[in-house]
Amino acid sequence: MLKEKQVFVIGHKNPDTDSICSAIAYADLKNKTEDASFLPKRAGEINNETKYVLDFFGVDAPEFISHVGTQVKDVTIKRTPVLTRDISLKNAWNTMRDLNEATMPVVQEDGRLQGIISVKDIATANMDIYETRILGMSRTKYANILDTLDAEMIIGDPDEEITKGKILIGAANPDLLENFVEEGDILLTGNRFENQLCGIEMNAGCIVVCMGAPISKTIQKLARENNCKIISTPHDTYMAARLISQSTPVGYFMRKENLITFNQEDFISDIRSALAKIRHRDFPVLDTEGRYYGMLSRRSLLEMDNKKIIMVDHNEKSQAVDGIEEAEILEIIDHHRLGTLETTMPVYFRNQPVGCTATIVYGLYLENGVAIEPKIAGLLCSAILSDTLMFRSPTCTEKDKKAAEALAKIAGIEIEDHAEKMFRAGSSLSDKTPEEIFYQDFKKFNGGGINFGVGQISSMDKEELQQLRPKIAAFMESTANGSKDIYFFLLTNILTESSELVFAGESAKEVVENAFGPAKEHWIYLPGMVSRKKQFVPRILNALQQ
C-alpha cells in the first residue's frame, strides 16, 4: 500500500492569528478538494490572542514543526527482518540468500541493535577459519551443530555451549589418534568402534558419528558416564568437516564496534557527509527510542521526496520555517510584498493586496464551491479582525470587511464583541517575559544591505503599553549590543490608532529620524501608525536606501 502523500500548510515564524487560522482553514479546503493529506503546521509558539480564538471555536492548535528538511523517516526504509546473535553462519547465509539481502541487522530481544552481518563478513569468515578451536572460542551451542549438520543429538543437551576443544577428524587408528585427542575436542568419525571408544577415553567433549552409522549401546553408555556428547549426522566425514565451522554464531563475526547508524529523526542534509565517507550499501536506522527500525539504502536516497509545503501569510525565506530551502514548495498564499524566496519548480502563487490572508482563503472557498463550517468561518473572521485591527488598519479593504461580515454570520458571532474579547486576551501580557513579547510577532527584513527586524503588539490598554515600553527597550538594547542589525518594536494602541516605536541598534535612531522625523533616545510616538506592512516597513526601507 502506497503511503498517502502529505502536504504541510504552514505560516511564518512567530505566527500571528492570521498565520495560524489561515493554515488551518486552507488545509481544510485542500482536504475537501484534492486527493492528498493536507496538515496545518506552525513554526512557532502561539500567542494569547490566537490561543483565545482556537479555544473559543474548539479547534486544536496545529502541531509545531521546527524544520522542514527531509528526514530519514521521509525516505523509503527497508523493513529488513532481523537475526539473533546465536543463529549460525549457515542459517544467516541461507536467510540473506533467500531475501536477497547483502546486509542484515543482529538484534536482541528488546529490539536493540547489537551488530550487523554482511555477505562479505560471512565469506571472509568461511575463508579465514583455520582456527580449529573456533567452536569453543565462539561458545557455539550444540543446537547450531545439529542444525548445520542436519544431525540428531543422541547423548547430551542441545542448548549446552561448547567452551573448549578443537575440531578433529578421527581418520587414524586408535594408537595414533590417542596422541591427538584432547579434553573437550569435537571428534568426527565414522563407523569405527575403536576410534569412538578412544575419543571417550581421552575425554573428548563430543563425538560426531557420520553417515548415519549405528552407535552401539556400549558407546552410548560410556559416553553418558564420561559426560561425552554424541551426535549422529547423515553426512559423510568430508561434508561434516566442511560444514561444522558454519555452525559458529553470527554474534562472533558480526560488526559491533563503531557502527554507523541513523535515527528516524535525522536530517538527510546532516548525514550526507557520513554517507559519502562510508561506502556501505545499507545503514541501520533506529527509532526515537533507540530500537532497530529498518535499513537505509543508498539507492533510496536517490528516490527520496522532499517534504511538500504550502506557505501561507508569508513569502520570504527569512520568515519561513527552518529548512525551507530543502522542501518542495507547492503553493504560496499571501498578502504581503514579494520577498526573496526562490523555488526550484513553478508554484501556484496567490498574492492579493488585501488586509489579511484569511480574506484570500475565504475567496478560495467560494471559488471552489465548498461550504465553510462554522468553526472554520470563526477562525477566518478572527484572523481578518486581528490583521485589520477590526477594520482600523490602512491595509483593510472592502473585500476584508465583506468577508469578515459574511464569515461572522456563518460562525454565529457578533464582530465588535468578539473582536474586543479577542484583543483583550491578546493584550494580556502578565504571564510573558519581554523576550517572549518581543518575538511573539516578529519578522525579519533586509534593505540597503542592512538586516532589520520588526516586532509588534496591539493592545486596547494604554497603561499596559506604557509600562511595557521601558522593559522592551531594555531587552532590545541587550539584544542589539555588538550586532550590526537594527531592531524595531511597535506598541500599537488599537483604540487611538497610534503606536509608540521602540528602536535599538547602531544606526537605528538615524534611520528612524530619516523616516519619521526627530525621535527621543530609544522611542518615538507615531500617530496613525497601526500597520507594520503598509505603513512602517515601506518607510524604513525607503530610509535605508537613502
**Amino acid at position 188, single letter:** L
Q: Do 313 and 233 share a domain, yes or no? A: no
Is 183 part of any domain? yes
Q: Do 156 and 240 share a domain, yes or no? A: yes
**DSSP label at residue 78:** B
Count of domains for the chain: 3
Strand ranges of the sheet holding 292-297, from the earlier edge strand across to the other edge = 262-263, 282-286, 292-297
Is 101 part of any domain? no
Q: How far is CA 308 from the centre of its chain?
A: 15
Q: Do 482 and 525 share a domain, yes or no? A: yes
Full residue range of the structural domain in which residue 225 is found: 130-247
Is 88 part of any domain? no
Q: Last residue of a domain, which of 372, 407, 426?
A: 426
Q: Do 332 and 407 share a domain, yes or no? A: yes
C-alpha cell at 34: 484534492
Q: Do 62 and 140 share a domain, yes or no? A: no
Is 521 part of any domain? yes
The CATH number of the domain where 520 resides is what?
Answer: 3.10.310.20
pLDDT, position 161: 95
Q: Last residue of a domain, which of 426, 455, 487?
A: 426
Q: Last residue of a domain, which of 426, 442, 462?
A: 426
- Contact criterion met (CB below 8 Å) for 38 and 30: yes
Q: Do 313 and 401 share a domain, yes or no? A: yes
Q: Do 322 and 420 share a domain, yes or no? A: yes
Residue ranges of the chain with pLDDT lower than 70?
1-4, 128-130, 276, 279, 302-303, 430
pLDDT, position 526: 95
The CATH number of the domain where 370 resides is what?
Answer: 3.90.1640.10
Distance, CA of 170 to CA of 189 (rounded, Å): 5
Q: 7: part of which helix (H) or strand (E)?
A: strand 6-10
Q: Do 404 and 439 share a domain, yes or no? A: no
pLDDT, position 303: 66
Q: Which of 542, 456, 537 is nearest to 502 (CA)?
A: 456
pLDDT, position 465: 86
Q: Do 455 and 472 share a domain, yes or no? A: yes
Is 349 part of any domain? yes
Q: Do 150 and 231 share a domain, yes or no? A: yes
Is 293 part of any domain? no
Give 201's contacts (C-beta < 8 A, 6+ positions apart): 178, 226
| Angle (deg, nearest 10), helices 48-57 and 17-33 | 40
The CATH number of the domain where 154 resides is what?
Answer: 3.40.1390.20
Q: Do 395 and 330 share a domain, yes or no? A: yes
Is 277 part of any domain? no
pTM: 0.66
pLDDT tens digits for range 164-203:
999 999 988 888 988 999 999 999 999 899 999 999 999 9
Q: Do 136 and 57 share a domain, yes or no? A: no
Is 450 part of any domain? yes
